[in-house]
């Protein structure tokens, strides 16, 4: 069963995933990954969305034949599955292997507003 936060954040995460899919269809791999990073920031407090976005980042990395990213995403999938539920996520982290998996990063005002709004409606 999905938590209230997972359910409430879903439309925002899905919007970024659709944008990523469309960018991939245009062969814009840079934009596609950027949208996956946005989805990661928005959904990383939900085990479901956190693992799903890392899985999609893994798929992206395989398509790009980016071995470093493939390995990084395999590690992050395990970490997301094990640590998300116990608040083991570094807020704002974009989820790619180009940043340390535990690095806290600033969140854009737009994303912060969405996260706060969805958390407020989760109670």
pLDDT of 83 over the 60 cut: yes
pLDDT of 116 over the 80 cut: yes
Q: Which residues contact 35 (CB under 8 A, 6 or more apart)?
A: 16, 17, 19, 20, 23
CA–CA distance, 96 with 51 (Å, rounded to integer): 13
Q: What mean pLDDT is predicted for residues 32-36?
A: 98
CA–CA distance, 43 with 49 (Å, rounded to integer): 5
By percentage, how much of the chain surpasses pLDDT 70? 97
- Total length of the chain: 123
In which residue are the tokens 């600033």 written?
106
State how far the alpha carbon of 99 is from the alpha carbons of 5, 8, 116, in Å.
25, 27, 24
């Amino acid at each position: 069963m999905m938590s209230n936060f997972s359910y409430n954040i879903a439309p925002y995460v899905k919007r970024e995933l659709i944008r990523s899919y469309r960018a991939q269809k245009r062969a814009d791999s840079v934009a596609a990954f950027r949208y996956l990073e946005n989805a990661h920031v928005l959904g990383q407090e939900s085990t479901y969305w956190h693992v799903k976005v890392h899985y999609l980042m893994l798929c992206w990395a395989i398509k790009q034949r980016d071995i470093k990213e493939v390995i990084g995403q395999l590690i992050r999938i395990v970490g997301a599955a094990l640590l998300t539920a116990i608040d083991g996520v570094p807020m704002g982290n974009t989820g790619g292997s180009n940043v340390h998996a535990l690095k806290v990063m600033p969140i854009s005002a737009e994303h912060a507003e969405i996260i706060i709004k969805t958390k407020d409606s989760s109670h």
